[in-house]
Amino acid sequence: MRLFTAVLPPPAAVAELTAALAPVRRLPGARDLRWTATDGWHLTLAFLGEVPDDVRPELDERLARAARRHEPHTLRLAGAGHFGDSALWTGAEGDVRALSHLAGSVRAAARRAGAPPAGEQHAFLAHLTLARTPRSARVPLRPLVDALAAFQGSSWSVDTLALVASVPPRSGVPGEQPHYDTLAVFPLGRTQRPGQGPGQGEGPGGGPAGADG
């Protein structure tokens, strides 16, 4: 199963970004892009690739432990950027340093569980992918980046990280996007909330950032 860890934006943040994208999607060339589905929007912390089923129990335990070592923090979606001619994205503002530390802990946790993340040689960049360019199309992304550059969403509290499965499309229809299933959610912080069992989450508290231990 192809897995990744991510922060999922709340519905209000998704709605704001959807509204901001409406005029961008009417620009020349925008129709030729493969736009990501709003219900799959996420900020990737670590892409783990194919993870064997027998690794999942330890992976979940180590991710839960890593999450407990980080306090909730505040982010908002803002601005725009692109990876060459291949992808359009929006970025994040706020306590991005805390998010980067969380990503580092998550990557260490995954390594120790036997699911080393792909692309660890690249520096962490907080971003949410909005659209990709099909191989058959040549779409200049700079006008779309410029149109979205002033976007600033409302702030929200990042208080969980999610383990997500990427399910490849099965229909064979060109351009079909993968489907994302959230397998587990790990609250940040150390305080157990009423009604939550182990692995379901811990609430605000905090502790040192770093590896999962």
- Which residues does the annotation mark as catalytic? 42, 127
- The answer to whether the CB of 37 falls within 8 A of the CB of 108 is no
Integer Cα distance of 93 and 37 in angstroms:
22
Structure tokens at 208: 């040192």
Structure tokens at 207: 């502790």
- The answer to whether the CB of 90 falls within 8 A of the CB of 77 is yes
- The answer to whether the CB of 63 falls within 8 A of the CB of 212 is yes
Integer Cα distance of 65 and 186 in angstroms:
9
Determine phi and psi for 180, rounding to 5 degrees: -110, 130
Please tell me the total number of residues recorded for the chain in this structure. 213
